Structure formats: structure tokens, C-alpha cells
Amino acid sequence: MGYAMFMRRSRSVCLILLAGGVAVSLAGGCESRQAQLQRECAAARAEMRPDAEQICARSVSRSYSSSGGGSHGWWFFGRSGGSSSTRTASAFSSGRSGASATSARGGFGGTASAHGGASS
Amino acid sequence: MERLRQDPRSDRLERARRMGFTFAEIEGEPYWDETAYYRFTEAEVDVLDDATAAIQRMLTEATDYAVKNNLNEPLGTPAGAWPIVKRSWEQREPSLYGRLDLRFDGQGPPKLLEINADTPTALFEAAVIQWEWLQCTDETADQFNAIHEKLIAAWPRLGLPGTVHFTCARDSDEDRGTVDYLRDTAIQAGITAPFLYVDEIGWNGQVFTDLSETPIEAVFKLYPWDWMLREQFGHNVPMARTRWIEPAWRLVPASKAFLSLLWYLYPDHPNLLPAFTEPGKTGGPEIAKPLWGREGANISAPGIETDGPYADQKKLYQAYAELPVFGGRYPVIGSWIIAGEPAGIGIREDATPITRDTSRFVPHLF
């Protein structure tokens, strides 16, 4: 069919992490992820979809919880490095008798210093 | 297809900064270049779209062939990697993205120069920056660009857990910017997307961990497999139950020797160039490329020799199809594949026939 058959002028490009929710496109504004999830929840309930409650559960529990925002002042999120994962370690909890309390680090990354980035 | 000159917007760097594009200039030199743009016809966009889809189909079939026939040696796959490559392919671990580099002049069919299957970059500028430029430049034109929405749509289809870590090496604004853009798309898809540098990834004896000792179940890495596997933690990868994006099977098309496999399986395909792992078989001028080289390093072609750190690698010998010249510049079409589908293009051009890390990104429209 080809790409050129599709109308592209209506597309809206939004950046949440990089531009704090600012819409890049003139074609429309950016809907926050929370608003989108709530809209999807309302639609699912109205349509009486069997997975409606699962969809609606996402709109209650989800939030932008990313951290590791790096050194640039305009990043939407805060501190650099570090993890804010809210998921428990249960999927990895079996057979942990060989795991140490403090991980060794620095085992990746050594090649990068000679190459100045991974770009290809 | 034509290259047209334009006056750069006086506020282009400020606009870039506000969008989080931190590498519009690299080492003081322009990378994002608004002094020109390319204009295509609708028919040419369709040709690029169709060629990308055709190459993607061949890529999938040829990868399956390589795995089933255990072609790790001819591909030059890193020692010890083949079991995780096979397991990754047999489990059909999905790929998020890749970039084909194509030679195209608007006249003949696009020709595949290289496949960037593991750590493609120039993504943010193709997906967002050039779109923002178009909005300001021409209200009547369009752009071959659905990259952003296809990325957001792809994340939920990869079968990943709710948290995906993102990582890259230090000291590269381009790498960090690309990773942060992908985090942005993942967040918009509802994924929790913490970041840590690749040297901060820990190993506790059983699993990879982040800085809070949380196991890393899934990680997007802008860091090459062939580097990772020969580093200290490389031998831990088969033991860890970590999902990697891009998956390990991408080592197959990432090897430049894969181009010779494509030619073997699909000789005389209009979108392929003759390619072999021995010199002198193409029947004409050849360009020699290290199997795991990047950014135009250690290339040898008629009248061209570049240096770099890959001189000791085996080489791929491809029929030399010099890039077309538009306004004294040599453009390469970077055609993006997102979740197995063509998604749009970005163009990098250089003052020489070899594209390298100093080449500039130039927008396009149609």
C-alpha cells in the first residue's frame, strides 16, 4: 500500500520525560498518561469489556515513577543514577541462596572508554 | 529526490534544548543541520517503505537460516555467545528497533549498505526533531515519519515486565539522549523506566541488580552485545534471567557478514549489493568493512582508507556503490524498523562518501 497513502498531518508528538509534557506538534496537545488511562477506563466500563477492571486498575496505580534523570537541569525527573522500581523481587526470589547482599559492579562498560559511545 | 538549501532558524539550538535534544552540536560542530533539507516525491517514499519491508522479511528468514545452520563461525559471533543467540531466537524474543542504511538517489532501487541491528542511533532526531522542524517550515508538506507513535505502541507488545531498566555508557551525550528519548516513549506506554549507567549494573552472584539491589528483570541497553560479552560480567549473561532489548539474536544481523548471507540466499535481489567474506568475488570495485566496526572506522574502498580500532577484525567485502552526490554532500537514508515494521527515515550526510560520527543529520519532507 505504501506509506504515502496515510495522512500524517494529524499526528501529535508528545514528550513527557524530555520536555515535561510539552507538545512538540502543532497538531494537538499532549494528554497526560494518567488522563489517558482514566479515559480508557471510562470507555472500557461503558463498553462493558470483560477486562475493564484490569484496565481501570492501571489508571489508579500507575504513575511516572522514573528517576535517574541525569545531569541536565530541565529533565522532568530528579536524581541521577539509581532505581525507583516499584516491582518486588518475587520473580527472582527462588533459589537465592547463592546471592550476596551487595552486588559487585563495574563488570560492564570497560570497552566504551576506547570507543566514545555505542552509536552505530 | 532533491536537496534544497534553507536558512537555519535563528533559535534552532534553543528549540533543541527545550525538547531535551542535547547533542544538536557535537564537540562544537553542527550535527543537527538546518542549512538544507531533502524533498522526496510520494512515489519515492513508497519505494523506500516497500524496500524496507522487503529487507525486513529477508532479515527474518536469513536469521532463522543462520540459527538453524549454526553459522556462528562465518558470522564471527563472539566466542561463547551462540547458545544465548539460539535460545533468544528460538524463544522469539521480540526486537524493538533497528535501522537500515540505504543508498538511494531517487532513480534506481534502494540498496542496502548496512544493518544496524543492535545499537542504532540518530533515533531522536529522526522521530522528533525533524518533525518539529517540519511543523515550523511547511504546513502543506508531510514527512516519512511514524517512528514516535510506533515506538509507544511497540513497548506493550514486547512482553516485558512493568519495569524496564535503561542503560548506556557514560560520557556520550548522544547515547544518553537516545536512551532518555526511548525512556520517554516507554513511560508514555505505561512502563516504569529507571536509568543507570552500564558500569552501575551489579551482579549479586545470581542476577543483575540496580543501585538499590533490585533485580533487573528487563533492560534496554544502548551498549553493544559484542562489547558486553567480552567484559567481566559477560559470562554471567547466560545465567541471568534478564530480558535484553535488543535481544541476543540481533547479534546475527548485526554482523556485517550477515550481508554476505543475504546475498547468498537472495542473489541479485534489487535491494541488495553483492557481498562476500573474501575479497575479489564481487567482480568489481569493493568496499571492505570490519565485521563489527562502527561509524565508518577502518573502511577501505577505492580512494578511501579510514583508521580506527577495528583493524584486526575479519572483513566483509561488498560491491562498492558510491553514495550519490546532492549539492556536494553524500546522503545515507537511515530507514527505521520498529517492532518489525517500516516506520520512517532520517538522513545523514557527509562531505565524503563515508558516513561517520561527524556526519550531519538533515531533515526531509515530501
- Distance of residue B115 Cα from the nearest chain A Cα, in angstroms: 9
> Is B146 in contact with A109 (Cβ distance < 8 A)?
no
Instruction: Specify whether the CB–CB gap between B29 and B350 falls below 8 A.
Output: no
* Residue indicated by cell numbers 535501522: B99
Chain centre to alpha carbon of residue B170: 19
Interface of A with B in 9-48 (CB under 8 A): 9, 11, 13-19, 22, 24-27, 33, 37
Nearest residue to B193 (alpha-carbon basis) of B161, B166, B211: B166
* Distance of alpha carbon B212 from alpha carbon B355, whole angstroms: 41
Query: Has this prediction a pTM greater than 0.90?
Result: no
What does DSSP assign to residue B163? B
> Is A81 in contact with B184 (Cβ distance < 8 A)?
no
Per-residue confidence in pLDDT tens, chain B, 366 aa: 999 999 999 999 988 888 888 889 888 889 999 999 999 999 999 999 999 999 999 999 999 999 999 999 999 999 899 999 999 999 999 999 999 999 999 999 999 999 999 999 999 999 999 999 998 888 789 999 999 999 999 999 999 999 999 999 998 888 999 999 999 999 999 999 999 999 999 999 999 999 999 999 999 999 999 999 999 999 999 999 899 999 999 999 999 999 999 999 999 999 999 999 999 999 999 999 999 998 888 999 999 999 998 999 999 999 999 999 999 999 999 999 999 999 999 999 999 888 887 799 999 999
> Is B180 in contact with A82 (Cβ distance < 8 A)?
no
* Distance of alpha carbon B255 from alpha carbon B117, whole angstroms: 9
Q: Burial of B363 by CB count in 10 Å (0-12 exposed, 13-18 middle, 19+ buried)? A: buried
State the DSSP H helix or E strand holding residue B103, giving kind and residue range, or none if neither: strand B97-103
* Cα angle value A85/A88/A91 (rounded, 5°): 120
Residue B205 Cα distances to B214, B229, B311, B365, angstroms? 13, 17, 36, 52
Beta strands B29-30 and B25-26 are: antiparallel
* Distance of alpha carbon B114 from alpha carbon B329, whole angstroms: 19
Around A62, how many Cα atoms within 13 Å sit in the side-chain half-sphere? Answer: 23
> Is B215 in contact with A15 (Cβ distance < 8 A)?
no
Least CB–CB distance from B201: residue in A25, A62, A105: A105
* Distance of alpha carbon B181 from alpha carbon B128, whole angstroms: 9
* Cα angle value B279/B321/A4 (rounded, 5°): 135
ipTM of the complex, rounded to two decimals: 0.91
SS3 B220: strand
Could you tell me where the DSSP H helices lie in A1-120?
Answer: 33-46, 52-61
SS3 B168: strand
User: Which residues are registered as beta bridge partners of B317?
Assistant: B276, B288
> Is B132 in contact with A84 (Cβ distance < 8 A)?
no
